[in-house]
Amino acid sequence: MLDLKNEFIMPPIKLGYSIGDGKVTDRHITFYKTRSRYLGAIAIEPMYLDRGLREIPNQLGIDSDDKISGLKKLVDVIHETDTKVIAHLNHPGRMANPKIPGNYFISSTDKPCENGGATPKRADYKDLEYVETLFVDAARRAAEAGFDIIELQFGHGYLLA
């Protein structure tokens, strides 16, 4: 059982405070530190698992080990207020933003996305093995950064939905 200082949990919101490299910035730290005083837990914004799976250009990432130190700094600042931190891991599948160069799209079907219009590749076994690797690697990075909880996005038409 996870012991929270109160029952208030902040859901993830897409801040877009990164500068395009997916790393934590001072804006992230200020934003979350200010709110953490009042909350039992905070879900950090949806973090991309692969640079080609972004929803917004300045989204926070957890796709490589070079992001761990910044995430750890953010988690440590939030922990100073006795607030738990949730790593929200997201694979948008066909919902990845088609306006971001380099994004790619996979899904359980090749049906175009209603929101962005991108036609995804219907995932095969090899694609799903890669997706599994993305989640496992991201979860390891989240653990190394000190996150208390890992949340997987199973809604909104994203890949795992």
Within a domain: 89:
yes
Structure confidence at residue 114 (pLDDT): 79
| 30 domain residue, yes or no | yes
Confidence of residue 100 (pLDDT cuts 50, 70, 90): very high
Q: Does residue 48 sit within a domain?
A: yes
Tell me, yes or no, if the pTM score tops 0.75: yes
Tell whether 66 is covered by a domain.
Answer: yes
105 pLDDT higher than 80: yes
Residue span of the structural domain in which 101 resides: 9-152
Per-residue pLDDT tens digits for 133-161 = 999 999 999 999 999 999 998 888 788 88
Give me the pLDDT at residue 158, please: 87
Does residue 87 belong to any structural domain of this protein?
yes
| Cα 91 to Cα 133: distance, rounded to the nearest angstrom | 12
* Phi then psi dihedrals of residue 84, to 5 deg: -80, 155
Calculate mean pLDDT across residues 50-62: 96
Q: Is the pLDDT of residue 56 over 80?
A: yes
If we measure between CA atoms, which residue out of 67, 63, 65 comes closest to residue 53? 63
Q: Write the CATH number for 27.
A: 3.20.20.70
DSSP secondary structure string, 47-102?
A: EESSGGG-SSTT--B-SSGGGHHHHHHHHHHHHTTT-EEEEEEE--GGGS-TTSTT
- Is 14 within a domain? yes
Instruction: Establish how many alpha carbons lie within 13 A of residue 35's alpha carbon, considering only the half-sphere containing its beta carbon.
Output: 20
Mean of the per-residue pLDDT values of the chain: 94
CA-atom Rg of the chain in angstroms: 16
- Phi, psi dihedrals of residue 133, rounded to the nearest 5°: -60, -40
**Within-domain flag for 3:** no
115, pLDDT greater than 90: no
C-beta separation of 19 from 25 below 8 A: yes
- What mean pLDDT is predicted for residues 86-97? 94
pLDDT reading at 116 higher than 80: no
Domain count, the chain: 1
Any domain includes 1: no
